[in-house]
DNA sequence: GTCCGTGCAAAAGCTTTGCAGCCTT
DNA sequence: AAGGCTGCAAAGCTTTTGCACGGAC
């Protein structure tokens, strides 16, 4: 998370591909996964470059970082407000096509002096695939 | 998160105090904060001991780990289901005295084949103190 | 006496950063 | 030509772990 004034960005094949990859997958990948994928196209790619570009894309508002209790961060290019479904068995994260309950904020505001702006909602359970195995 | 069979636990002053401290504060502290506090009572305390005991207490179900997007974990001894208020300005985390909306799970279940068991809800905004400053 | 808990130190794992050279504008 | 971008490597930070000793039961 940079605190400086915005830089004059230039095009970079690496950054473009990172964004494309993120937009083409629903898997909320890690930096390392992106690195492994792009290593095929850019054999000399470094993880530092992946992290730096993810940081830049986040500053631009094109990518979001997801924290959900794992040891490593995940990233997504779906910047529309949405909830997540998280499988407690295999760790899969899915975007949840469920309407945002803005009303929750209103209800919450009546119970606290906290100035509530938004909320984050995640559902946990078992995905279809894991459910079948159990 | 240990996967083994439960061990026969013994009493330990360090572990008892960690739990007491967690129960006496609403600040959802980090392992490092607990370490700093208890270093006064146990001058030879090590961070490893704090982490190991937190892990043990979590296994016992007496403590929960909170992940919320920082680089370090926080812990709490409030094991009742509850939501959190998180200040985006100062990082403070408060337990939110708001009823759990179990109905959310029911509504969600109608929209997916995912086997939903529970959800996590966090509200973000500005705490009273930070609100006054802005 | 047994064996769990501790302190110490090293290691692990993810992320950030300094630097010199490259590439976009 | 200017300066953002890259690869490489080192460093940073939080958390985990191996080991021998100490303490609870």
pLDDT, one tens digit per residue, over B58-75 is 999 999 999 887 889 999
What is A39-97 written as a DSSP string? HTT-TT--HHHHHHHHHHHHHHTS-EEE--SSSS-EEES--S--EEEEETTT--EEEE-
| Chain A CA closest to residue B95 | A112
Q: How would you class B3 by CB atoms within 10 Å of its CB: exposed for 0-12, middle for 13-18, buried for 19 or more? A: exposed
Q: Which long-range contacts (CB under 8 A, 24 or more apart) does A20-24 make?
A: A22/A57, A22/A63, A22/A75, A22/A76, A22/A77, A23/A77
Interstrand relation of A64-66 and A74-76 (parallel, antiparallel or unpaired):
antiparallel
What value does the mean pLDDT of chain A take? 93
Residues of B in contact with A68 (CB under 8 A): 67
Give yes or no for residue B1 having a pLDDT over 70.
no
Mean pLDDT over residues A14-23, rounded? 98
What is B33-50 written as a DSSP string? HHHHHHHTT-TT--HHHH
Mutation target vs B (from A99, A123, A131; most B CBs, 10 A cutoff) = A123
pLDDT, one tens digit per residue, over B12-58 is 999 999 999 999 999 999 999 999 999 999 999 999 999 999 999 99
pTM of the predicted model as reported, rounded to 2 decimal places: 0.92
A11 nearest nucleotide via C1' and CA: C24
Mean pLDDT over residues A120-131, rounded? 94
Domain spans, chain A: 13-133
Rounded to an integer, what distance in angstroms lies between the CA atom of residue B119 and that of residue A120? Answer: 10
Tell me whether A100 touches chain B (CB under 8 Å). no
Stated length of chain B: 134
pLDDT bracket for residue A133 (50, 70, 90) = confident
Give yes or no for residue A1 having a pLDDT over 50.
no
Alpha carbon of B71 to those of A1, B4, B29: distances in Å? 12, 28, 13
pLDDT bracket for residue B3 (50, 70, 90) = very low
- Does domain A13-133 fall under CATH 1.10.150.530? My reply is no
Q: What does the DSSP 8-state code read for residue B7?
A: P
What value does the mean pLDDT of chain B take? 93
CB pair distance less than 8 Å for A85 and B112: yes
Q: In the structure, how far is the CA atom of residue B49 from the C1' atom of nucleotide D18, in angstroms?
A: 14
Rounded to an integer, what distance in angstroms lies between the CA atom of residue B128 and that of residue B50? Answer: 32
């Amino acid at each position: 998370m940079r605190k400086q004034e915005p830089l004059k960005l230039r095009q970079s094949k690496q950054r473009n591909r990172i964004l494309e990859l993120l937009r083409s997958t629903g898997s909320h990948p890690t930096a390392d996964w992106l690195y492994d994928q792009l290593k095929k196209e850019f054999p000399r790619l470094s993880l530092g470059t992946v992290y730096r570009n993810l940081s830049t894309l986040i500053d631009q508002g094109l990518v979001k970082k997801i924290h959900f209790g794992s040891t490593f961060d995940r990233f997504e290019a779906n910047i529309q407000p949405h909830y997540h479904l998280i499988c407690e068995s295999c760790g899969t994260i899915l975007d949840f096509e469920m309407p945002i309950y803005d009303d929750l904020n209103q209800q919450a505001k009546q119970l606290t002096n906290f100035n509530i702006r938004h909320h984050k909602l995640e559902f946990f359970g078992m995905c279809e695939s894991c459910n079948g195995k159990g």
